Structure 1
Amino acid sequence: MMLYLMDLWDSVRGFMASGGDVLWLVAAVLFAMWVLMLERYWYLKWVSPKQHQAIIHTWDEREDSTSWYAHRIREAWISQAKQDLTARMLIIKTLVAICPMIGLLGTVTGMISVFEVMAVHGTSNARMMAAGISMATMPTMAGMVAALSGVFFSTRLDAQMKISIEKLKDSMPHH
């Protein structure tokens, strides 16, 4: 098992080295994005149901649920629950959107490396140019993969949050 982990770590290090420093930035953004998404999933599954039950219980205990004031109170509670539920979603969506841009930054820095090799050694040294081309393509690919995973899971998370809010609204009748 330990040998397998060492081989895995060597593979990751080799991949990160072939992509240059920008690949570390993609990894950091990806890590932050996933930490935030996992936190939101945890909140959605464990914290918000308890909060929604407390809101529903408080609403059911009210004597007045039909007046204009009661409707405004209901709307305020639902709005607060929605705000608590969707907190940090804008940050997640922003991180998803900048992943490809960081990948393109890696493309630019990799191509600059290729041009430096061409300026110093000429176009005859293909091996040295290949390292720069790798530095140009790896971050782009990594940025796109990171963005795709983020788009899929943040969209799914967003849909589950909307369903949760709709269930809360349906559980708070107003006549």
Structure 2
Amino acid sequence: MFEFLEAIRDFTETGGQVLLVIGLLIFVMWLLILERAMYILVWHKSKKKQAIKEWKARSDRTSWYAEQVRQKKISTLSIQLNGSIPIIQALVALCPLLGLLGTVTGMIEVFDVMAISGSGNARSMASGVSKATIPTMAGMVGALSGVFASTWLNRKAKSERTHLEDAIIIERNV
């Protein structure tokens, strides 16, 4: 276990301080993704059943007022379904930007070494190059994983809203 933690520490030192920020961002993003997935897969089902049960218990399902009640139920559950998805999407967009920040800070270090040593000594520039490439990679990996997860969450939320709209049907007088 200690070797694993030491490997992580070495990796973050190689990638620079920006890598820690990217790691924290990805951690928070995945906590939100897991929370949304749990809500959609577990908790939403009981709320959906309750809304359908309340709708079917209504005696009036044909009036204008009934339509407004129906729309409120669907909108309320839809808002709960979408919950933190916009925040997740913002964090996904932030990942590559922080990776780019890591690239810039790493390249500044490379240029500092070149200015001090007066030449392109590969050994002295290696630290800056790793600080330039590792955060970029981490930002892109975080963004890609988040894109797939947020797309899935969006699809599931839209699908669940459609199912709810189909289940709570307004009865028309013909």
Gaps of 5+ in 2: none
RMSD of Structure 2 on Structure 1 (CA): 1.0
Residues in 1 aligned to 2:120 and 2:100: alpha-carbon distance in whole angstroms? 26
Secondary structure of 2:119 counterpart: coil
Runs of 4+ in 1 over 6 A off after TM superposition: none
1:143 matches 2:164: no
Displacement of 1:164: 1.1
- Counterpart residue number, 1:155: 151
1:108 matches 2:91: no
- Counterpart residue number, 2:41: 45
Q: Deviations over 1:30-61 (max 9, x none)?
A: 00100001011111122111111111000000
Stretch moving more, 32-41 or 116-125: 116-125
State how 1:59-74 maps to structure 2 within 5 Å.
59-74=55-70
- Counterpart residue number, 2:30: 34
Residues in 2 aligned to 1:138 and 1:106: alpha-carbon distance in whole angstroms? 8
Displacement of 1:153: 0.7
**Contact conserved, 2:103 with 2:131, CA < 8 A, in 1?**
yes
Secondary structure of 1:78 counterpart: helix
Secondary structure of 1:159 counterpart: helix
Displacement of 1:7: 3.2
- Counterpart residue number, 1:97: 93
Q: Percent identity?
A: 46
Displacement of 1:99: 0.2
Q: Deviations over 1:112-153 (max 9, x none)?
A: 101111111122421110110110010001000000000001
2:126 alignment partner, one of 130, 133, 154? 130
Aligned length: 171
Gaps of 5+ in 1: none
Residues in 1 aligned to 2:119 and 2:147: alpha-carbon distance in whole angstroms? 40
- Counterpart residue number, 1:25: 21
- Counterpart residue number, 2:166: 170
The one-letter code matched in structure 2 to 1:151 is V
Name the TM-score, length of structure 1 as normaliser: 0.94
1:55 matches 2:56: no
**Contact conserved, 2:85 with 2:153, CA < 8 A, in 1?**
no
Displacement of 1:11: 2.5
